[in-house]
Structure 1
Amino acid sequence: MKHLITPLAAAMLAAFAAGAAPSAQAQGKDLKIALIAGKTGPLEAYAKETETGFMMGLEYLTGGTMQINGRRIKVIVKDDQSNPSLGRTLLAEAYGDDKVDLAVGTTSSGSAIAMLPVAKEYKKVLIVEPAVADAITQEKWNKYVFRTARSSMQDALAAASTFKSGSVGFLAQDYAFGRDAIAAAKEALKTTGSKGVVVHEEYAPATATDFTAPAQRLFDKLKDKPQPRVLQIVWAGPNPLNKLADMKPERYGIALAPGGNILPVMKTWKSFAGTEGTIYYYYGFPKNKMNDWLVAEHTKRYKMPPDMFTAGGMAAAGAVHAALSKAPNAKNGDELVAAMEGMAFDTPKGRMSFRKEDHQALQPMYHFRIKKDQKSEWDLLELVREIPVSELPLPVRNKR
């Protein structure tokens, strides 16, 4: 398989060779990290953001040296094309042939789930980012698996915290991500004590472009139910919000709730000013030094602010940096696992920590409202409130 060294890493290594960072500082062998992402296929936009955020995170946390404890960091990027079989093969290659110290990935939940047994087989750490399926830290989990990404249940608990009563219907993609999300949403309503009732759920193909039939079925089920009536959209990739809005759900007193998405999608929602939802990250919400740097540097380099998967990539870099700094002499995956359980680390959202029981990163979420007065191309959301970890009672469901 082809190995790719990212442009930023290559530039750093070139700088070292030219004397920008004294090579005498580098002691011991390189730290090798595999970053597996769906760089081609339906989730390539997410994968690109993850890679950018991961490399910027390492740059920030190492002060630009790309070293930890005097050892140079080598990032090997692999494209699994969001294919579970390929993801499994690439992770085995990374652990076996490339001899990486740990791995990060991947974009698709299906591919991530396929990779989990490989981490167990090789007894090496896998940090899951950005896949969200609950199974990753529940029934499919093993002790070598850590997740910086939020889970479907964390998404669901955040959304449920804003929905106190009324009727809700769901439109989701018909694969692991969508079905996991809706199962979590129904449970989250009960967990948070909401009096909201789930009236109906519809699943459409991930590549669907015509939503007329499922939307009408949802309208028919919701239209006579108690207010507020909400149609919640759970969708990865181009969001069907605009197409559903064209069908005028307000005729039935139904409000659309899109949930968070990447910036290029959310910028098409300007006509939905006042609509509320919940999101994992929006560049203007967290107030901390790391996020300030990410927003400033990303805007300078890419002419736009960082997106939610960029922040996720940087969070994964925070976990990698903290783990390898805490256990610089770890001889195997078991020693690294011991160092990472309960470990706190810096991210653009603030400090996160890996829960010891299932290695899920505990983190806040955000309740947003689409702005009426958008002063610039990317001035899209206003913060209603940050939802703290204490209000997101994530269940522990793995088997140790």
Structure 2
Amino acid sequence: MRKLIPLVFALAPMLAAAQDLKVALIAGKTGILEPYARETETGFMMGLEYLTSGKMDINGRKLKVIVKDDQSKPDQGRTLLAEAYDDDKVDIAVGTSSSGSAIAMLPIAAEYKKILVVEPAVADAITGAKWNKYIFRTARNSMQDGLAAASTFKQGSVAFLAQDYAFGKDAVAAAREALRLTGSRANVVHEEYAPQNATDFTASAQRLFDKLKDAPQPRVLQIIWAGPNPMNKIADMKPERYGITLAPGGNILPVLKTWKSFAGTEGTIYYYYGFPKNKMNDWFVAEHMKRYKKPPDMFTAGGFTAASAVYTALAKTGGGNTQNMIAAMEGMEFDTPKGKMHFRKEDHQAMQPMYHFRIKKDQKDEWDLLELVREIPASELPVPIRNKR
């Protein structure tokens, strides 16, 4: 018996460590999408705090989050995800900020046969042509954005300004198709793509104005942009001279704050803190205000949503067995600050509502920016299934 005691003691730490549940959170914490990454991490940690009542455990097992910065670089994203699966032995991974990096990570999840929850990257290919069965997405996709916007364009002429990379091109393609799927009679007259870090929009705007100015009314210029938004610069060129109305996509609060002079302008958005009415969002808004002196933002809500999906999956399965987790997550319903979502079984896309907003004329404080025109339910967003199972 004495000879067995040292062995028992030697195994005890290993057994204890095996009980930990590990999650990797990969985000572009440096580079142009750093604000998105920072919000995602904040929301993710707040979500786990709420869901575990501050204990950071699931069914008595300690929950450990390993945060990694892929700098929004595809090569770095691939490397870090492989490291999370291979070296860190995570049960599940979440990421990332850039659609380009997220797409590069998808084959790594398949190679290691481990689940990747995509948040907040939106490119349709993630749950479409590039998808594999290990991929689940809590983020909305470009088509959901497009369908929401298309529901507000009933007729007239539309042109797009977007960034010249995966997100921008994917979003415009989705917007075009969304107009068809929603039965809109609006005609797309031009697509304009500018460099991701562009600061001068003079030439781009003039081309857009030239295409729109003689087109049937109403004339709408939709701006689809990640990072510092060019709407103010486009507005300075006075598109109203040509009867052109700007239609911004949703953006983070620091950007929305710069749009106060556009009272009455309408658009669609993934999340705005004042729109959802539920217990989880009430806690989220109040706690975020207490800690950070401002309300939660789009990507903070996305991080919380990803945390809820991860928590629900691990609570149901205990992690470990990937096939059991996939079976549990297909069709899985989970609570979020936007209300209940579920993963569509066919392509693992989270089905969710969107919001039609109007920029407020009378704003009571620096964050009182938008009023709700209408919540657009998931049932009105017929997202096509494009993956190959």
Per the TM superposition, whether the score is higher than 0.5 is yes
SS at match of 1:352: strand
Other-structure match for 2:7: none
Residues 60-106 of structure 1: CA distance to partner in whole angstroms, max 9, x if unpaired?
00011101010010000000000000000000000000000000000
Contact 1:109–1:177 (CA<8 Å) still a contact in 2? Answer: yes
TM (norm. structure 1) is 0.93
Other-structure match for 2:12: none
Other-structure match for 1:71: 61
Contact 2:268–2:354 (CA<8 Å) still a contact in 1? Answer: yes
- 1:296 correspondence with 2:286: yes
Contact 1:34–1:76 (CA<8 Å) still a contact in 2? Answer: yes
Other-structure match for 1:45: 35
Other-structure match for 2:13: none
Residues 223-254 of structure 1: CA distance to partner in whole angstroms, max 9, x if unpaired?
11111000000000111000000000000000
Other-structure match for 1:345: 334
Among candidates 378, 382, 387, match of residue 393 of structure 1: 382
Q: Distance in 1 between matches of 2:296 and 2:186?
A: 34
Give the C-alpha shift of residue 334 in structure 1: 1.4
Among candidates 196, 200, 217, match of residue 207 of structure 2: 217
- 1:226 correspondence with 2:220: no
Q: Distance in 1 between matches of 2:94 and 2:320?
A: 19
Matches within 5 A, 1:15-34: 29-34=19-24
SS at match of 1:210: coil
SS at match of 1:194: coil
Q: Distance in 1 between matches of 2:63 and 2:32?
A: 30
Contact 1:124–1:332 (CA<8 Å) still a contact in 2? Answer: no
Number of positions where the alignment pairs a residue of Structure 1 with one of Structure 2: 374
Structure 1: any 5+ residue segments left out of the alignment? 1-25
SS at match of 2:245: strand
Matches within 5 A, 1:312-331: 312-328=302-318, 330-331=319-320
Give the C-alpha shift of residue 207 in structure 1: 0.6
Other-structure match for 2:229: 239
SS at match of 1:376: coil
Other-structure match for 1:126: 116
Among candidates 47, 58, 69, match of residue 48 of structure 2: 58
Q: Distance in 1 between matches of 2:34 and 2:370?
A: 24
C-alpha change, 1:68 and 1:27, in structure 2 (3 Å) is farther
Among candidates 351, 359, 372, match of residue 383 of structure 1: 372
Amino acid at match of 2:119: E
Give the C-alpha shift of residue 331 in structure 1: 3.8
Q: Distance in 1 between matches of 2:321 and 2:108?
A: 15
Other-structure match for 1:100: 90
Structure 2: any 5+ residue segments left out of the alignment? 1-15
Contact 1:167–1:228 (CA<8 Å) still a contact in 2? Answer: yes
Q: Distance in 2 between matches of 1:214 and 1:310?
A: 32
Amino acid at match of 2:321: N
Amino acid at match of 1:380: L
Residues 290-341 of structure 1: CA distance to partner in whole angstroms, max 9, x if unpaired?
000000000000000000000000000000010011112x542111111100
Contact 1:103–1:127 (CA<8 Å) still a contact in 2? Answer: yes
SS at match of 2:139: coil
Among candidates 183, 188, 192, match of residue 193 of structure 1: 183
Other-structure match for 1:249: 239
Contact 1:153–1:184 (CA<8 Å) still a contact in 2? Answer: yes
Residues 32-85 of structure 1: CA distance to partner in whole angstroms, max 9, x if unpaired?
000000000110000000000000000000011101010010000000000000
RMSD: 0.9
Give the C-alpha shift of residue 28 in structure 1: 5.8
Contact 2:91–2:320 (CA<8 Å) still a contact in 1? Answer: no
Q: Distance in 2 between matches of 1:137 and 1:28?
A: 32
Among candidates 362, 365, 369, match of residue 373 of structure 1: 362
- 1:149 correspondence with 2:164: no
SS at match of 2:120: coil
Identity value in percent: 81
Other-structure match for 1:111: 101
Q: Distance in 1 between matches of 2:17 and 2:191?
A: 57
Residues 10-44 of structure 1: CA distance to partner in whole angstroms, max 9, x if unpaired?
xxxxxxxxxxxxxxxx9961100000000001100
- 1:357 correspondence with 2:346: yes
Amino acid at match of 1:283: Y
Residues 147-172 of structure 1: CA distance to partner in whole angstroms, max 9, x if unpaired?
00000000000000011000000000
Matches within 5 A, 1:201-212: 201-212=191-202
Contact 1:27–1:70 (CA<8 Å) still a contact in 2? Answer: no
Residues 265-307 of structure 1: CA distance to partner in whole angstroms, max 9, x if unpaired?
0000000000000000000000000000000000000000000
SS at match of 2:66: strand
Q: Distance in 2 between matches of 1:95 and 1:114?
A: 15
